[in-house]
Amino acid sequence: MATRKSLGLGTAPVFLAGISTILGAILFLRFGFAVGTLGLLGVLLIIFIGHLVTVPTALALSEIATNQRVEGGGEYYIISRSFGLNIGATIGIALYFSQAISVAFYVIAFTEAFEPFFNWMIREHNIYLPRQAISLPAMALLSILILNRGGNLGIKALYVVAGILFVALALFFAGSTEYAENTQTSLFSGSFKNMDNFFVVLAIIFPAFTGMTAGVGLSGDLKSPRKSIPIGTMAATFTGMIVYVFVIWKMNASVSPEDMLNKQLVMSDIAIGGKWVIPIGLAASTISSAIGSVLVAPRTLQALGHDRTFPLKVANRFLARGKRKDNEPFNASLVTCLIAFIFVSLGSVNAVASVITMFFMLTYGSICLISFLNHFGSDPSYRPTFRSRWVISLIGFLACLWLMFQINTLLTLLAIAIMILLYYMIQSYHKERKGLQSIFKGALFQLNRRLQLYLQQSMDYRSGESWRPSAISISKETFHRDSVLYLLDWIAYKYGFGTYIHLMDGYFSSENQEESSDILKKLIEKTEKKYKNIYIDTLISPSYTSAIAQSIQLPGISGMENNMVIFDFDKSNPENLDEVIENINMVRAGQNDVCILGTSSKKANYKNGIHIWIRSFDFENSNLMILLGYIISGHPTWYKSPIKIFEIVEEDEVEKTRENLLELMKAGRIPITEKNITIIKKDESLSTKELINENSEEAGLTILGFRASHLKHEGSEFFTGYDKLGDILFVNSHRQKTIS
């Protein structure tokens, strides 16, 4: 983002921008209605709930601002530099439109200060003037002043209008009424009324709580944002909360509920000189809020332009460009004033006021979430000099979500839908901005660390119960055959975990480590779309055996120990098969299951399903073979592909074997039907390999079992001779698995 010359502002403008927005139109126009409807205690509860959002947000903002340089764009800058530019831009656009439409909202509210004038025109001249007779000239004057004089004039005006506002409030508190003199009330004598309308009233007056971050938008013009933002924001938040409490107490003690419900400017009945003081105070509060919004919104838009948020380069350059002298956002101010003019000309923004609230709530929730994730992630670089508490930030985030749905579920869903649509639009033309920001990485690292510790300390993964595969494969042939990568991806898709290690021959050195890092980068780029479920890594080792020994001793990516090692060999050229066999006993010594994948150049037809062959010696292997077939079939590649079981038995055992298999499938809830179970009678004239070749020639994958004794007596010959088949997975289970 381009740097902009700071105006060198101090803390006071941050406080004034915030407090003048907090003590704005809603305070003068709607607090009487709220107290008249819900009673003193009902509105106190609203103030408490409202500050469950604003106080955590103010604390989170103060914390974040003391950890990093907050440049132009205020809230948008904080969000985009924490969540990333695409997510930040999504929230930033919504935030900008909320701020821009808020200008119109406050200008329209400003016209309510002229209610006596409108009534006089009707009474004396029978002329019904539209509110635009005041609001449009007011908007025009505000636009001219901001466009010509910029932020300096806006800040000076804030001092003037804030002074008028505080004088009006002082005269309000000093005033008295006949009702007050004849009624005994105290802060503890209030009541709850009409609580079925609680959230309706909350929706009406909630915008009163959305002004505490107004001063943050001046971040690019502050001399010391790290100092001014925390002090100014917190002071405005707590000052506003205290004033709110005393205003509703004063109203409750001074006028009847009927008057509060029927008189929009009921405060004028209480204040000294209220006939003139309160309309002037209302005018001051609304115009100061409008000034605050018209100062902040263009700076958000300018920051969005600097970050090339919009699809048109010319639009980004136009919005980012400021005045040569101080980079004052003239173009962004012009766009903001035009948007405000459109809504002012409509005469009312009540229809979009709740949507504005929703986007502000999304912004506040995002800020609280940033603070929470920074606490949870425990990033050493996150060292704010002002610290909130993670639980406070979490409460603020959850309160935002809860209030949004309580105020208006439909508008909440609409706001979320708009945000999702915006995100995908921005993502479509900023595809280069991808990857997790450090705030997400830190939180994921912490979550992963805690889960791994919990899993290690609380569960026994070597038991046969609740078994799931955590498979690892070590191979030098990554760039020559990838069948084992497919297998790992199938296993890890839904039910298991898969790790693939590319082995580099040699001794560890700086040169080899650099080469290893380059290979890993290429592997991740190559496999991230094709094998989404596998963890990829590289290992430098002088021998295949030492590489296996190192790998099987380390925990898997899930935090649990690896419990399965997958070897592979090329059926047409099994030159590495002897090397695989030599290391199987070492792997079994580590209590691991062993799988050997024989890969074929034959194109697999996955629709033909998975064939599992159970033989007389497969007592311990059979359940693992069936479980692996079920796990693999869960991958989309095998969608609607059948699992078929074949077993070779003596003639007198056919029916009993069939019944046992059906009972096993039923008890284990394995989706293998009777028609997919084939019992083959032993035929002395045909070898087992011939039967398998004959029956599974078209299978997508064939699964066979093997025992350690086969390695001793037959060696590599046990795994060869299946020339008609496609890929074959040979399985040896360390112990029998339970299917239940």
Mention every residue, 6+ apart, whose C-beta is less than 8 A from residue 75: 61, 95, 213, 216, 217, 300, 363, 367
pLDDT at 628: 92
Q: Which residue has the higher pLDDT, 322 or 31?
A: 31
Report the distance separating Cα 660 and Cα 602, nearest Å. Answer: 34
Most confident of the ranges 56-65, 143-152, 592-601, 645-654: 592-601
Report the distance separating Cα 705 and Cα 616, nearest Å. Answer: 10
Q: Which residue has the higher pLDDT, 555 or 388?
A: 388
Torsion sign across C-alpha atoms 111, 116, 119, 125: negative
Across 396-420, average pLDDT: 86
Q: Assess whether pLDDT exceeds 80 at residue 323.
A: no
Paired sense of beta strands 728-732 and 593-599, if any: antiparallel
pLDDT class for 3, splitting at 50, 70, 90?
Answer: very low
Q: Assess whether pLDDT exceeds 70 at residue 559.
A: no
Determine the longest span between alpha carbons in the chain, in angstroms.
118
Across 521-535, average pLDDT: 81
Buried b (16+ CB within 10 A) or exposed e, 702-732: bbbbbbeebbeeeeeebbeebebbbbbbbbb
pLDDT at 1: 43
pLDDT class for 380, splitting at 50, 70, 90?
Answer: low
CA triplet 197, 203, 206: central angle to 5 degrees?
125
pLDDT at 458: 62
- How do the domains of the chain map onto residue ranges? 11-429, 467-732
Most confident of the ranges 338-347, 378-387, 449-458: 338-347
Q: Assess whether pLDDT exceeds 70 at residue 221.
A: no
Across 707-723, average pLDDT: 88
Across 632-639, average pLDDT: 91
pLDDT at 566: 95
pLDDT at 244: 92
The structure tokens listed for 46 are: 């609203």
Nearest of 347, 290, 301 to residue 129 by alpha carbon: 347
pLDDT class for 275, splitting at 50, 70, 90?
Answer: confident
pLDDT class for 632, splitting at 50, 70, 90?
Answer: very high
Give the chain's mean pLDDT: 83
Calculate what percentage of the chain has a pLDDT beyond 90. Answer: 19
Q: Assess whether pLDDT exceeds 80 at residue 527.
A: no
Q: Assess whether pLDDT exceeds 80 at residue 437.
A: no
pLDDT class for 464, splitting at 50, 70, 90?
Answer: very low
Please tell me the total number of residues recorded for the chain in this structure.
740
Give the DSSP letter string of 189-250.
S-----GGGHHHHHHHHGGGGTTTTGGGGGGGGBS-HHHHHHHHHHHHHHHHHHHHHHHHHH
CATH of segment(s) 11-429? 1.20.1740.10
Nearest of 96, 56, 92, 55 to residue 77 by alpha carbon: 92
The structure tokens listed for 487 are: 């297998």
Shared fold status for 11-429 and 467-732: no
Q: Are 218 and 74 in contact (CB under 8 A)?
A: yes
DSSP state, 653? Answer: G
- Tell me the per-residue pLDDT of 594-631, one tens digit each, with 9 for 90 and over: 999 999 988 888 999 999 998 878 888 888 999 999 99
Q: With 0-12 CB in 10 A as exposed, 13-18 as middle and 19+ as buried, what is 315?
A: middle
- Tell me the per-residue pLDDT of 494-516, one tens digit each, with 9 for 90 and over: 888 889 999 988 888 888 888 88
pLDDT class for 550, splitting at 50, 70, 90?
Answer: confident
Calculate what percentage of the chain has a pLDDT beyond 70. Answer: 88
Query: How many CB atoms are located within 10 Å of the residue 664 CB?
Result: 17
pLDDT at 2: 44
Q: Assess whether pLDDT exceeds 80 at residue 588.
A: yes
Q: Assess whether pLDDT exceeds 80 at residue 325.
A: no
Most confident of the ranges 141-155, 219-233, 697-711: 697-711
pLDDT at 594: 94
Q: Assess whether pLDDT exceeds 70 at residue 446.
A: yes
Q: Which of 34-43, 376-385, 400-409 has the lowest mean pLDDT?
A: 376-385
pLDDT at 246: 92
Query: How many CB atoms are located within 10 Å of the residue 697 CB?
Result: 16
Q: Assess whether pLDDT exceeds 90 at residue 704.
A: yes
User: CATH class for domain 467-732?
Assistant: alpha beta
pLDDT class for 727, splitting at 50, 70, 90?
Answer: very high
Q: Which residue has the higher pLDDT, 38 or 380?
A: 38
pLDDT class for 71, splitting at 50, 70, 90?
Answer: low
**Confidence (pTM):** 0.65
What stretch of H or E contains 501?
A: strand 497-505
pLDDT class for 65, splitting at 50, 70, 90?
Answer: confident
Rg (CA), the chain: 36
CA dihedral of residues 48, 52, 55, 60 (deg, nearest 10): 180
Across 417-422, average pLDDT: 86
Residue 423: CA count within 13 A, CB half-sphere: 13
pLDDT at 97: 86
Q: Assess whether pLDDT exceeds 80 at residue 5.
A: no
Most confident of the ranges 130-144, 341-355, 714-728: 714-728
Tell me, letter by letter, the H, E, C secondary structure of 245-308. Answer: HHHHHHHHHHCCHHHHHHCCCHHHHCCCCHHHHHHHHHHHHHHHHHHHHHHHHHHHHHHHHHCC
pLDDT class for 94, splitting at 50, 70, 90?
Answer: confident
Q: Which of 219-223, 312-316, 672-676 has the lowest mean pLDDT?
A: 219-223
